[in-house]
Amino acid sequence: MNSIWEVIDRAETGPYMEERDFDLKVVAKKCRELVKEYEIRFDPNEIVTTDDSMADDVYEAGMRLALEAGIYCINTKRIIKFDESEIKEGILSAPKELVIGQGRDSRVLYARGVEDPRRAIICGGQAGAAIPEEWYLPMSISYMKEPLIDMINNGGLAVVEGRKVRTNTPLEIQATRRELMMLREAAARAGRPGISFIAGESSVSVLGDLAIASERYMRTSDAHLVALLNELKTDYDRISKVVNFTEYGAFNVTLVDPIIGGYAGGPEGVAVCFIASFLLGRAMYRSEYHVCHPIHFRYMSTSAVECMWNLNIVGQAMARNAPFIIMGDVWTSAGAGSEMIFYEIAANTITNVVTGTHPLGVSATNGKYPHASGLETRFMAEVAIATVRSKLNRKGANDLVVKLAGEYKDKMGKPDIGRPFPELYDVNRVVPKPEWNSLYLTMKKKISDFTGLEI
Amino acid sequence: MNHEEILRNLAESVISGDEEKAKDFARKALEAGIDPLRAINEGLMRGMSRVGDDFSKLKIYLPEVMMAAEAMKAALSILEPAALQKGAGALKKSKVVIGTITGDIHDIGKNIVAMLLRANGFEVYDLGRDVPIDDLIRKAEEVGADIIAASTLLSTSMPYMEDLISLLKERGLRDKYIVMVGGGPVTREWAASIGADGYGDDGEEAVKVAKELLQRVKGK
């Protein structure tokens, strides 16, 4: 049986290759060939697709890429390969349901299906952002006090005790521990002491991660992200994170974020690369669940049309063929405090919920600015619930998503970045300021009318 | 084959990323008596300009841009020496030293910027990922760079960009180089706050800013 021990062995003994050759002669070449062979086509007018055979083709192409490419280890320049039986074992043993969190705050996180009638699990927070130390606690509370939010993935700290944190230095340990201390405090203050975290975002290298494998910081009902590097790569820092959490007993979550326009090519090649990444990520990291995050080479945002098509086709391909538990990111170009963010959230969330992923966000401004709060994530949750309640199918979802995207896609180059958290919330009472609350109510009504969903 | 056809083929060899064809038509250009500088500007650069446009519209992707840059490099290895013989200095290109800064291994964004700079006629020294700041400065000194460009996807590697500017000041080299920064968490405001000269939201803007700064600061 494959294990993390075997992965470490293969990182040291697998076939040697120059990185540029892996990028161009393996990933780029194979993705292009497979897209052509399977005739996979992205259509901007069909963001949510109804063609099951295309989803199955994307899956099959991704499986072939996984078998042919493997994962490149940057440190050793060797390829960690897996055979078909190992990848299939990874699929068969992948959890379909998982209890996360503790006590009354625990939730059952599950592998979502296409047009799944169940309520999606809502993961809130401005994941990926660097959040100022002085706002971190109230901002985290703003998410946790939202009853519709089931679990938390907030950003990290780039400054601790007034000192700028530099990657791979001692301050990374302190920043990661401080992040977890504040999350615990926020959970207690919000009356959600058992809420599950995806955390340790301040740990860019393995340093912070090693420092939080303790009940005082991370519980075994919590999770950390372990990225696959672009494309189909890993390194010893990532593998060390897996070793640490595997032995500690908390959840490993693979973060997969291929770049549209990068080595895998356009939206179609990225979809194939996604499947390979999920399958290999499971085989290599033994992750219990996964995050799907297509990156647009210019806008970054998952709400870009090409990215939502990817969330859609990858979600469906996996749900139909290898039902993993997958969170679909909701990263917007606009910031909290703007009107535009509501359109992006609605389109992105409808796409995720109908096609097999649980929404995770809102990472407003793509995490560039701390212009985020619990309120827009409440809206994300409300859209997710309304989508399921209205029994929206893929065709209906596509009509709405195309219409919603039409309201913002031309503004993504120069989005309204909104306002920082303290301008949106009363930070002492941790409630939205009247102006922000009023905009939320107005936009909720506007988007309800615009889509016909009872949000 | 007339001059126009040769120049068109040179451009097409770059667009299709065909190294052999690029070298072949570079030789044909010289044999036909085309001024090498004209072959570069109206053949290779025209092709690269189309590659840049196509990439910005997502008609092609990073691998195609990389192959186009390789084809251009192959043709330049034939045309450049010939151009220099005709008048050294005419070909003087602006030099950029670029790298993903200390602590960060994310390099695709940086690779895109490096490729687009090459496509726009810059001589690019790409030091790769996790590059210590003194390596960036050392290389810039060694090659006589005009621009030092640093990228990161990590907010915890952004302070190293500040360190880069501080170290340049400490060593009395700040005025010698244009410093550009970019990457996921880096913002225009932050770039200005640390005293960087330029910032690009994406590869396209990075090239535009590099050209503007060269003209404004260095008169190139």
Position A400: which residue type? L
**Portion 226-255 of A in contact with B at CB < 8 A:** 229-230, 235
A14 pLDDT more than 60: yes
Mean pLDDT of B89-113: 87
Asked if residue A365 has pLDDT above 80, the reply is yes
This complex has an ipTM of 0.84
pLDDT, position A146: 98
Contact A311, A294 (CB under 8 A): yes
B182 to A69, A371, B117, B204, B207: CA distances (angstroms): 31, 20, 14, 12, 12
A74 touches chain B (CB under 8 A): yes
> Which residues lie across from A360 on neighbouring strands?
A123, A329
Name which of B104, B108, B162 is nearest A259 (Cβ-Cβ). B108
Interface test with B, best of A167, A230, A255 (most B CBs within 10 A): A167
Q: Average pLDDT in the A71-79 region? A: 98
Residue B90 pLDDT > 80: no
Indicate the SS3 state at residue A21: helix
Task: Kindly give the pairing relationship between strand B95-100 and strand B147-151.
Answer: parallel
User: What is the per-residue pLDDT for B88?
Assistant: 52
Q: Estimate the crossing angle of helix A52-69 against helix A267-285, to 10 degrees.
A: 60
The two three-digit tokens of residue A260, written as one number: 């549209």
Residue with tokens 């001059």: B3
Contact B156 A167 (CB under 8 A): yes
Q: What is the pLDDT of residue B116?
A: 87
Min Cα distance A153 → chain B (Å) is 17
Any CB–CB contact under 8 A between A168 and chain B? yes
Q: What is the predicted pLDDT for the residue at A1?
A: 52
**What is the mean pLDDT of the segment spanning B77-82?**
90
List chain A residues with CB under 8 Å of B193: none
Within A81-122, strands assigned E span 97-100, 107-110
Q: What is the DSSP letter of A228?
A: P
| Confidence band of B219 (pLDDT split at 50, 70, 90) | confident
Mean pLDDT across chain B? 91
Residues B151 and B109: beta-carbon distance below 8 Å: yes
Tracing tokens 């889509």 back to the chain, one arrives at: A451
SS3 A16: strand
Tell me which residue in B62, B156, B157 faces A261 most closely, judged by beta carbons.
B62
| A188/B216: higher pLDDT | A188
* pLDDT tens-digit readout, A293-334: 999 988 899 999 999 999 999 999 999 999 999 999 999 999
SS3 state of residue B57 = coil
Cα(A227)–Cα(A218) distance, integer angstroms: 18
A97-451 adopts what CATH topology?
A: TIM Barrel (3.20.20)
Per-domain boundaries in chain A = 97-451
Per-residue confidence (pLDDT) for residue B194, from 0 to 100 = 96
- Considering only CB atoms, A164 lies closest to which of B103, B112, B159, namely B159
- For the segment(s) B95-218, the CATH number from 3.20.20.450, 3.40.190.10, 3.40.50.280, 3.40.1190.20 is 3.40.50.280
Backbone angles phi, psi at B217, to 5 degrees: -85, -40
Q: What are phi and psi of B151, to 5 degrees?
A: -130, 150
Fold of B3-86: 1.10.1240
Interface contact flag, B184 A366, Cβ < 8 Å: yes
Q: Over range A435-448, report the average pLDDT.
A: 98
Average pLDDT of chain A? 97
Residue B1 has pLDDT above 90, yes or no: no
Per-residue pLDDT band at A344 (split at 50, 70, 90): very high
What pLDDT shows up at residue A281? 96
* Partners of A108 in the β-ladder: A99
* Chain A contact set for B105 (CB, 8 A): 74, 229, 235
Of A180, A175, A189, nearest to A154 (Cα)?
A: A180
Residue A259 near chain B (CB below 8 Å): yes
B91 confidence band (pLDDT: 50, 70, 90): low
Q: B92 falls in which pLDDT band (50, 70, 90)?
A: low
Closest partner CB to A166 (pick from B58, B159, B187): B159
Q: Is A306 near chain B, with CB under 8 Å? A: yes
Coil, strand, or helix at residue A72?
A: strand
Torsions phi, psi for B126 (to 5 deg)? -95, 110
User: In sequence order, which ranges of chain B are alpha helices (DSSP H)?
Assistant: 3-15, 19-31, 36-38, 45-56, 62-86, 108-119, 133-143, 158-170, 188-193, 203-218
Question: Cα(A313)–Cα(A271) distance, rounded to whole angstroms?
Answer: 7
CA–CA distance, A292 with A295 (Å, rounded to integer): 10
Asked if B154's CB is within 8 angstroms of A204's CB, the reply is yes
Mean pLDDT (whole number) for A337-356: 98
The answer to whether the CB of B220 falls within 8 A of the CB of B146 is yes
pLDDT, mean of residues B55-81: 89
3-state secondary structure of B201: coil
Identity of the residue numbered A13: T
> Which DSSP helix (H) or strand (E) runs through A9?
helix A4-13
Closest chain A residue by Cα to residue B67: A24
In this complex, the residue of A28, A260, A366 whose CB is nearest that of residue B63 is A28
